[in-house]
Amino acid sequence: MKKLLLYFCVIFIGLATFSLDLKVGTYSDFPNSFYTNENTGVFTEILKDIANEKGWNLTIYNDTKEKINNMFFNNRLDIIYPTLVDSNFIIKDSMKIFTNSESIISIFDLKNKWIGVKKNSIFYKQIKDILNKNNVRCIFSEYESYDEIFKELKNKKIDIAVVSKNAGLILANKYNFIESRLNFSEFKFGIIAKDKTIQENINDYIIKIKENPNSIYYKTLKKYFNKKNNFILIEKDIYIYSFFIFAIIVLFFSRKKHIKKNKKILKLKETLEKELYDIKKSLENLEIEKQKLSTTFSTDKKAKESLKSIIDINSNISEYMNIDEDLFLTDLFRTSLNLLGADYGSIQKFEKNKWKFVDSIGHDINILKNLDLDRSYSVRSNEIKKINNIMKENESNMPLNVLKDLKEATKKIKTTLYIPFFVNQEKVAAITYDIKENSKKDFFGYDITISRAFKEIGESILKIKRQNKEFRNAYIKFANKLAIVSEAHDDVTGNHIYRVGILSEFIAEKMGLNYEFVEEIKNFAPLHDVGKIFIPIGILNKKGRLTRDEFDIIKKHTTEARKILEDNKYFKTALNIALCHHEKFNGGGYPYGIRGSDIPIEAQIVALADIYDALRSERPYKKGFSHKKATEIILEGDGRIKPEHFNPKVLEVFRMYNSEFEEIYDSNAGEKSKRKFFIF
């Protein structure tokens, strides 16, 4: 009996003193987690406090975000932080933009800027996606920390710093930087554990310390952010801001675009002019409605001042015509949803015999986007329609299995306002505004009037955007034909011009340039020698050595390109390439002898792609160089070609990915090129 009692005592003492050993992974993300003499930061201190209460022994590993995530997914870590979470977050954060002197009041102010970003940061992905969708071209420089980004901005090695708002609020005090007024969507960050029980313990503890204003939670936040609520991104007064953004839409299109007539596509141009006129008329109607609305909104002095500050940036609004179609609909939808007093809503796009969800508020967009929906399932209405119990109407339009999935993805709805958008008598999109079940709210005639104004604006913009796309495609086809003509004139096979396009596209992608800009470079790089059409064919195809005078004539092919490409905004990138692809980064090129950033980046990219392809290609007087030899010439020089001739960032892409250059060339070699190779 004494032995049994002794065993129980040993077991009890063992359980009482048992501590859990946990491996924890984190990465440098000031002020959430960072390392000085030890691991510290908001998340680290809070997790240590949790561990102290629970009796856990923590071994903290600090490495790159990518390595920490891999270790966690491979079950080598028990806990990681900071990471994105849906609930029980420790901190909220959003993206913020800082500059040295220039005020950033629109996303389009980032055009052609050097932007510093933190490698693998969620805000890097966010700003890249936004710029791509808005067709804004820029160049990214990646850094390991936000502090490093700010130092580079201070030294003017970059133009823009994209950082987390929380880090920016702290670090910006060390520098005299300008904070942009742009606001972006917020993210929630917390602690994730592999084990469900450990995760529950962490969640319960976070809930508990948030409820206590004297807890370690608020003490830690105050320590890093000076005052405890600095870290929390306060939601704006959505109602008032919706009106502000609504005012932007009105002012957005007030300046009529002037499109230069082109004889070959005159008819389409005239159509665009007519559509712009229709937009103007729609805006006049919308302005009338805006004046009616103004009396129903807050007359607070601060609201008026805020509205005035938004109007002041109107000079840049017209550029919104270039944003992605889905993004335009999203902006229209999110602007109008709160204005109409709706609780939920969604955007639908129609293509051929299918339709899909683009965005939603309140409903589960992930499920909605995966639904297989036929056009025939949609609401059958050509006009704005108020629908009571839209699910009941859907019963007559769609199969039961589809209806079941749709019900699972949507919240219960009392009333829906359905706005279809038509282009050339075809329904291309629709927006639904929903009022939740059991709500006392409803849509009235006033809401229908405002919705009609949004419908007119939406249809006009969608129509002109689609016609602009047709117009753009016509120019690209014309560019392809020009490229073929120029290469035939120079006794060169088509393989060369398209290889240069593919190689240039590859470089531009690796440099992180905007998607639309990358496409332009790929499409217009083949026009780099289009000016040779105006060079005597006898000189171009001369078998022997060229005289100095003949060299000078050939050099003119750069400026001769103006005769074809100048005075046309659609060929601006093509003209830059044709004019400047023989300029050298250190000066001494032609036709202007410009250097550095004065040379358009697209021309600097094509310059390296063109030289690499020329080195690899066979000549009448020599065989083509091997990839190894061509790489050696570009990276080390050979007397005529020097590494200093190239933009260092372009050259670095070649240095890192030259094996891919070899693959691209070999897979697109086809008939051996007979291109004459002259470097002046």
CATH no., domain 238-467 = 3.30.450.40
Closest CA to 558 of 585, 590, 586: 590
pLDDT at position 451 is 81
pLDDT at position 427 is 92
pLDDT score of 675 more than 50: no
pLDDT at position 600 is 94
pLDDT at position 607 is 96
Residue at 642: amino acid letter: K
Span of 1-5, 526-530, 624-628 with lowest mean pLDDT? 1-5
Sign for the pseudo-dihedral over CA of 37, 41, 43, 48: positive
Mean pLDDT of the chain: 77
pLDDT at position 487 is 59
420 φ, ψ (degrees, to nearest 5)? -90, 150
User: Check: CATH 3.40.640.10 for 490-667?
Assistant: no
pLDDT at position 632 is 95
Mean pLDDT score, 518-538: 86
Residue 54 — pLDDT band, cuts 50, 70, 90?
Answer: confident
Mean pLDDT score, 270-288: 53
DSSP 625: P
- The SS3 of residue 328 is helix
Residue spans of the domains in the chain: they are 21-83+193-225, 91-189, 238-467, 490-667
User: Which residues in 452-475 are b (16+ Cβ under 10 Å) and which e?
Assistant: bbbbbbbbbbbbbbebbeebeeeb
- Per-residue tokens: 303: 């609201």
**Sequence-distant (≥ 6) Cβ neighbours of residue 55 within 8 angstroms:** 18, 19, 20
Dist CA 640 CA 148 (whole Å): 38
pLDDT score of 255 more than 70: no
Position with higher pLDDT, 461 vs 525: 525
Give me the residue label for tokens 């003509």.
Answer: 485
- Per-residue tokens: 564: 């074809």
Residue at 396: amino acid letter: S
**Sequence-distant (≥ 6) Cβ neighbours of residue 415 within 8 angstroms:** 386, 387, 388, 434, 435, 442, 443
CB 188 within 8 A of CB 89: yes
pLDDT at position 619 is 59
- The SS3 of residue 38 is coil
pLDDT score of 170 more than 90: no
Mean pLDDT score, 209-225: 82
Residue 88 — pLDDT band, cuts 50, 70, 90?
Answer: confident
CATH no., domain 21-83+193-225 = 3.40.190.10
Q: Tell me, which fold does domain 91-189 have in CATH?
A: D-Maltodextrin-Binding Protein; domain 2 (3.40.190)
Residue 530 — pLDDT band, cuts 50, 70, 90?
Answer: confident
pLDDT at position 281 is 55
CB 260 within 8 A of CB 268: no
Longest dimension (CA), the chain: 114
CB 272 within 8 A of CB 259: yes
Dist CA 212 CA 218 (whole Å): 8
Mean pLDDT score, 623-641: 92
Q: How far is CA 605 from the centre of its chain?
A: 21
347 φ, ψ (degrees, to nearest 5)? -115, 135
Strands (E), 137-185: 139-143, 160-164, 178-179
Nearest-10 Cα torsion for 622, 626, 631, 636? -50
pLDDT at position 485 is 62
**pLDDT tens-digit profile of 20-32?**
889 999 988 878 8
Span of 12-26, 209-223, 360-374, 395-409 with lowest mean pLDDT? 12-26
CB 260 within 8 A of CB 250: no
Position with higher pLDDT, 319 vs 141: 141
Dist CA 96 CA 349 (whole Å): 31
pLDDT score of 213 more than 90: no
Q: Describe the strand order of the beta sheet including 413-423 as a list of residue ranges.
A: 373-374, 354-361, 344-351, 426-436, 413-423, 385-388
Does 91-189 match 21-83+193-225 at the fold level? yes
Closest CA to 589 of 598, 581, 597: 581
pLDDT at position 623 is 77
Percent of the chain with pLDDT over 90: 25
Closest CA to 430 of 500, 473, 381, 361: 381
Mean pLDDT score, 41-68: 88
pLDDT at position 661 is 95
Residue 280 — pLDDT band, cuts 50, 70, 90?
Answer: low
- The SS3 of residue 570 is helix
pLDDT at position 75 is 87
